[in-house]
Structure formats: C-alpha cells, structure tokens
Amino acid sequence: MLGNKQRITEKWNAQAKKRTKGTSWWEIPQYCGYMNLEICGEPLPAISRGTHKRLQELGPFARAVSVGCGGATKEQALLKSGTVQHFDLFDLSDQRLKLAEARYAEKGLDGHARFILDDAFATTPHNTYDLVYWSSSLHHMMDTRAALEWSRDVLKPGGLLMIHEYTGPTHWQWSDEMLDCLRRFRSALPPHLRPSNPNIKRLTVEEMIERDPSEAADSAAILPALKSLFPDAEIKALGGAIFPHALRGIYPKMTPEDGWVFEMVLTLDAAFRAKGESHNSFALARKM
C-alpha cells in the first residue's frame, strides 16, 4: 500500500501531464475580480494580480521561498516584475519541477531561482527569507500549524508572510446549508444552463483521503494558527462557499447574455461571506 507522500507525489506528477486551460474557477475573470477587490481594492481579472499588487507595494524582496510551487508561474511573475530577486522553489513532484525549470530557462530566469525536490521543513535554516509565499499550497500541508511555525522561523526579522489560500472546512466537509443553497440555485437556472443533477456531492473524509490525502488535509486550522502565531496579521475573507461550485459543469455553456448569472452567484457568495462562511483567505503578516 502506498504511503501518503508517494501517493501525493504520484497525484501531482499525473496532474503535470493533464491540463485543460480555462475551465477552473480561478481562471474566470469575474471570480478573480471579486476576490481581488477585497485584496487590493481593484477588481483585477487574474487570480494572482491582487496579491502581487500588494507585494509590489511592500517589496522588493531579496530572497523568497515557495513550498508546493508546482509550475511556479506565479513566482515567475514576481521575478519578472522585480518584486522578488530570488526564489527557492520546493515541490514533491519532480515532473512539475522539471517543467517549471524549463520554462524559467526559456525566460532567462533560471539564475534567479533554485528548484528543490525536497522537504522544505527539514532543510531550511532559520532567519533565511524576506518573504514566505503561500499560494494555493498551504491547504495541502498535513499539519498547517507546523507549516506556519516553520514560516515564522525561516523568516528574517521584519520579513513578510503572504497567504492566499483555501481555508474552509477540512477535507471539504461542506455545511448542509451551503449544499442546500447550491442545489436550489442550480435547480433554478434557465433551462439551457440547468444541470441534470443540481446536487453538489459532499465526499466522505475517507473518499477525500483516497482521492488525494493532501487536499484540504488540515485547512480549517490555518486561520486559528495564523492568528495565534501572528496576532497582528492582516486577514481578508475572500468568499468561496458558493462561487467555485454553483456553475460547476455549466460555465462552458454560458454566453455573454448569461452574465447576470455571475452577478447572482457572487451575491449569494457575498451573503455567505457576510455571515462568516468564507472558504478563501488572504493574509499578510510581519515577523516581529
């Protein structure tokens, strides 16, 4: 039987080989603008634009680290803009690191990055980095408090921690209220958009672990740990209880005339966010 680390590695190696651009919620401009409005005050239409705008205002950073960097495209953008001078890029997937390294070489950025197939938590000295950059990878850590303790330790005094992450229920154990809202919304869509099955399935914890042991493995612990370890952190709720799911399987069918549907989705999402159910967060924190 495969151990968790090997299963996670194989999962992300397989992911490196299959990619259908334009079908994920984080590639939809309306959703990105909704979150970026909270992050930086502007509805910027790309997922990392808001976080990078904030970092550009606070940088430049001589040395940064990203754990679970994957293809490292967001880190590449920070290097190209001069916001970061050098990145240490850690990942468990050798295939994703190879692809990233090749892209960096093509862009002439290979001298500004170190690609490391290793456990960052076991190999990084304290007081090393000016920026610890967590973007869609912290929620894959098996112990998120330990990951944030490591982040605090490896930052230089005055260094910055940035988090843009899923911070919702661990193992995607959605609330009944959320699932009922999604079912009713999807059932009420116009006939040309209405799915044959309006339900969004909540997998069991065992099904989630079988699918990917790292997916939202300890996500609900992120914000409590952050507030404990970085009491002065700036934290922004970005929503996400409704919008990643409401148009699942529907978005490719939509036309420009269906733009009002996005407005309805975001209104519902904002209502859930207002009452405290937000599954995505942005945070900045300094090491004192």
**Residue 132 belongs to a domain with what CATH number?**
3.40.50.150
How many other CB atoms sit within 10 Å of the CB of residue 93?
Answer: 23
CA dihedral 43, 45, 48, 51 (to 10 degrees): -10
| Cβ partners under 8 Å of residue 58, min gap 6 | 160, 284
Q: What is the pTM of this model?
A: 0.91
pLDDT tens for the chain, 288 residues: list them: 344 555 555 554 555 555 555 568 999 999 999 999 999 999 999 999 999 999 999 999 999 999 999 999 999 999 999 999 999 999 988 999 999 999 999 999 989 999 999 889 988 889 999 999 999 999 999 999 999 999 999 999 999 999 999 999 999 999 999 999 999 999 999 999 999 999 999 999 999 999 999 999 999 999 999 999 999 999 999 999 999 999 999 998 999 999 999 999 999 999 999 999 999 999 999 999
Q: Which domain holds residue 17?
A: 4-286
Least Cα distance to 161 among 169, 170, 152 occurs for 152
State the DSSP code for 84. B
Give the helix/strand (H/E) hosting 264.
Answer: helix 259-274
| Cβ partners under 8 Å of residue 82, min gap 6 | 59, 60
How many other CB atoms sit within 10 Å of the CB of residue 18?
Answer: 6
Per the structure, how many domains does the chain have?
1
pLDDT of residue 12: 45
Alpha-carbon distance values, 220 to 78, 150, 196, 234, 283 (Å): 28, 18, 32, 18, 15
